[in-house]
């Protein structure tokens, strides 16, 4: 078998014929020619036999490594004059638009990024983390199910931090499938409005339930006319429990700050410190009581109670927490009472709290990996790859006909 024939089969790049193979110390360069005569615009379905010109410089793409060697594919591309996009370099069937990598290479990197930590991915495939982000974004644009906003009945809207310094994404989850179906940069009312604009009036009218956290931003957007006209607004109990954990943390910190007062001799205490000491004596075991309140609240939403039992226990919890003299819990009681109807609606509609929490944890794990990305788009892409309606396939698993293939 000739080397070029062997590399034709080895690379399996659709629509190409291998013309030449050259070996360098750390790299194999494979020169290919496109089999098709027609030129295709890289950005739309326009194709033509008429070439504008041929590029003087070869284009190149990195493909899957071969043994220890990097493998680079080269081709001479023509330019097409597209009526919509103007003079553009023709698209190729084996690589995505504007990419320096083949589809196979990008599919592998995207798959790895959802399953491996940053350092491992970078070392294995030898590309910068920023580049991994750009690859994720291209794969998502290409593979995201365009029908994902159809047939939405129960959705959750949530925020997640993707980078230090208050950079957030807003994510919309389909409670039916447990997949993230929409996302955008930001976490304010306008961000959430974008979702409803994209959803459109017809699909929005089908929403039966929308669950959010207790922040005003999303609730305000959900309440706007036409956004979710037939939906019951719910509060994910998961967020309520998270607030109770925050309250417990605050109590713990206060207790910690007060503890050193106990180490001082009483006669050396200032007036304020003496007051603190009296308070400590009176409210002994504050951290313990706070812990008990948090656990009791978690038990209310454990999922093994009927809606009426849940209602009764939640109200009883509010009375107890309001009388606890633990300020963070007294404050939390106010929040819970304000959103009581929404919290109980989530229980009544059976929005699966365990699943919401599991997805939330998965999203948080994956966004920590995205902290090295510099664009919200890349962070969102990684979330979509890991938690969205996308089936990632490794190169050898791909049997479907690829777009543009000839
Ligand atoms: Zn075009």
pLDDT in tens, 348-384: 888 876 778 888 889 988 988 888 888 999 999 999 9
CA of 85 to the centre of ligand 1 (A): 5
Let me know if residue 383 belongs to a domain. yes
Predicted pLDDT of residue 30: 98
* 94 and 10 fall within a common domain: yes
Instruction: Return the bridge partners of 159, or none.
Output: 170
328 shares its domain with 377: no
Could you tell me the distance, in angstroms and rounded to a whole number, from the CA of residue 83 to the centre of ligand 1?
7
In the reported structure, the alpha carbon of residue 33 is separated from the centroid of ligand 1 by a whole-number distance in angstroms of 22
- Domain assignment present for residue 135? The answer is yes
Question: Is 96 within the bounds of a domain?
Answer: yes
127 and 98 together in one domain: yes
Distance 36 CA to ligand 1 centre (A): 18
Please name the helix (run of DSSP H) or strand (run of DSSP E) that holds residue 71, with its range, or none.
strand 69-75
| Among candidate residues 107, 83, 103, the one with its CA nearest the CA of residue 94 | 103
Within a domain: 405: no
Quote the ligand 1 centre to 59 CA distance (angstroms).
19
State the average pLDDT for the chain.
90
Q: Which residues surround ligand 1, an ion (CB under 5 A)?
A: 41, 43-44, 46, 82, 84-85
Domain containing residue 216: CATH number: 3.30.420.10
202 alpha carbon – ligand 1 mean position (Å): 31
Give the pLDDT confidence of 151-203 residue by residue, as tens digits: 999 999 999 988 888 899 999 999 999 999 999 999 999 999 999 999 999 99
User: How much distance in Å is there from the Cα of 132 to the middle of ligand 1?
Assistant: 27
CA of 162 to the centre of ligand 1 (A): 34
Question: 73 C-alpha vs ligand 1 centroid, how far in Å?
Answer: 24
Residue ranges making up the domain that contains 172: 154-235+353-387
Distance CA(242)–CA(160), nearest Å, equals 14
Copy the structure tokens of residue 236: 């994910």
Q: ∠ CA(340), CA(351), CA(178), 5° rounding?
A: 140
Compute the distance from residue 91 Cα to the ligand 1 centre, in Å.
10
Distance (Å) from CA 255 to ligand 1 centroid = 65
Nearest CA-CA partner of 92 in 168, 26, 16, 4: 16
How many Å lie between the centroid of ligand 1 and the Cα of residue 38?
A: 14
Residues 296 and 314 occupy one common structural domain: yes
228, 207 contact by CB (below 8 A): yes
- Is residue 7 one of the residues assigned to a domain? yes
Cα 352 to averaged position of ligand 1 atoms, centre (Å): 45
Same domain flag for 228 and 360: yes
- Other beta carbons within 10 Å of 406: 12
Measured in Å, residue 80 CA sits from the centre of ligand 1 at 9
**Extended strands (E) in 217-335:** 232-235
Cα(105) to ligand 1 centroid in Å equals 25
Residues 134 and 57 in one domain: yes
Centre of ligand 1 to C-alpha 43, Å, is 5
Distance 90 CA to ligand 1 centre (A): 9
> Which residue from 55, 13, 67 is spatially nearest to 36, judged by alpha carbons?
13
Cα separation, 132 vs 66, whole angstroms: 20
- Cα(13) to centroid of ligand 1, in Å? 23
Instruction: Please count the structural domains in the chain.
Output: 3
Q: Quick one: pLDDT band at residue 305, thresholds 50, 70, 90?
A: confident
Q: How far is the CA of 382 from the centre of ligand 1 (A)?
A: 28
Measuring CA to CA, which residue among 334, 310, 311, 171 is closest to residue 247?
A: 334
pLDDT band at 254 (very low <50, low <70, confident <90, very high): confident
Q: How far is the CA of 87 from the centre of ligand 1 (A)?
A: 9
Structure tokens that stand for 240 in this block: 């309520």
208 and 193 belong to one structural domain: yes
Domain assignment present for 403: no
Whole-structure pTM value: 0.84
Percent of all residues in the chain with a pLDDT value above 70, rounded to a whole number: 93
Q: Residue 63 pLDDT > 90, yes or no?
A: yes
Q: Which of 107, 103, 82 is nearest to 93 (CA)?
A: 103
| CA pair distance 195, 218, nearest whole angstrom | 11
- Ligand 1 center–CA 404 separation, angstroms: 13
pLDDT digits (tens, 9 = 90+) for 12-30: 999 999 999 999 999 999 9
User: Could you tell me the distance, in angstroms and rounded to a whole number, from the CA of residue 136 to the centre of ligand 1?
Assistant: 23
In tens, the pLDDT along 256-292 reads 776 666 666 667 777 877 777 676 666 557 877 888 8
Same domain, 253 and 306: yes
The answer to whether residues 20 and 138 belong to one domain is yes
Between 49 and 303, residue with greater pLDDT: 49
Give the list of residues 6+ apart from residue 371 with CB closer than 8 angstroms, or none: 162, 163, 164
Give the DSSP letter string of 321-346: HHTS--HHHHHHHHHHHHTHHHHHHH
**Of 102, 84, 86, the residue nearest 94 (C-alpha):** 102
Provide CB contacts within 8 A for 314, sequence distance 6+: 300, 336, 340, 343, 344
């Amino acid at each position: 078998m000739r080397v070029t024939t062997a590399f034709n089969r080895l690379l399996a790049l659709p629509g190409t014929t291998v013309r030449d193979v050259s070996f360098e110390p750390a790299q194999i360069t494979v020169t290919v020619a496109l089999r098709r005569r027609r030129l295709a615009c890289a950005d739309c379905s326009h194709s033509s036999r008429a070439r504008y010109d041929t590029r003087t410089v070869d284009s190149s793409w990195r493909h899957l490594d071969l043994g220890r060697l990097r493998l680079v594919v080269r081709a001479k591309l023509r330019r097409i004059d597209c009526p919509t996009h103007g003079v553009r370099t023709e698209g190729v069937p084996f690589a995505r638009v504007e990419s320096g990598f083949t589809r196979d290479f990008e599919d592998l990197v995207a798959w790895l990024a959802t399953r491996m930590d940053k350092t491992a991915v970078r070392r294995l495939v030898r590309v910068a983390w920023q580049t991994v982000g750009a690859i994720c974004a291209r794969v998502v644009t290409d593979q995201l199910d365009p029908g994902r906003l159809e047939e939405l009945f129960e959705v959750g809207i949530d925020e997640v931090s993707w980078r230090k310094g208050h950079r957030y994404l807003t994510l919309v989850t389909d409670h039916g499938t447990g997949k993230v179906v929409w996302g955008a940069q930001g976490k304010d009312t306008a961000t959430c409005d974008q979702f409803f604009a994209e959803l459109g009036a017809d699909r929005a009218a089908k929403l039966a339930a929308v669950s959010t956290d207790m922040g005003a931003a999303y609730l305000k957007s959900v309440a706007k006319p036409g956004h979710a006209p037939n939906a019951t607004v719910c509060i994910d109990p998961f967020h309520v429990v998270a607030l109770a954990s925050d309250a417990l943390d605050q109590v713990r910190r206060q207790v910690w700050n007060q503890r050193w007062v106990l180490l001082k001799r009483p006669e050396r205490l200032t007036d304020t410190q003496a007051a603190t000491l009296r308070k400590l004596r009176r409210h002994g075991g504050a951290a313990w009581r706070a812990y008990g309140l948090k656990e009791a609240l978690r038990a209310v939403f454990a999922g093994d109670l009927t809606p009426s039992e849940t209602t009764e226990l939640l109200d009883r919890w509010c009375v107890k927490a309001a009388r606890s003299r633990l300020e963070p819990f007294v404050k939390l009681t106010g929040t819970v009472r304000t959103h009581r109807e929404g919290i109980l609606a989530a229980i009544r509609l059976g929005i699966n709290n365990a699943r919401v929490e599991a997805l939330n944890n998965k999203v948080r794990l994956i966004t920590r990996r995205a902290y090295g990305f510099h664009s919200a788009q890349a962070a969102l892409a990684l979330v979509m790859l890991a938690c969205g309606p996308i089936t990632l396939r490794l190169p050898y698993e791909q049997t479907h006909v690829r777009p543009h293939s000839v």
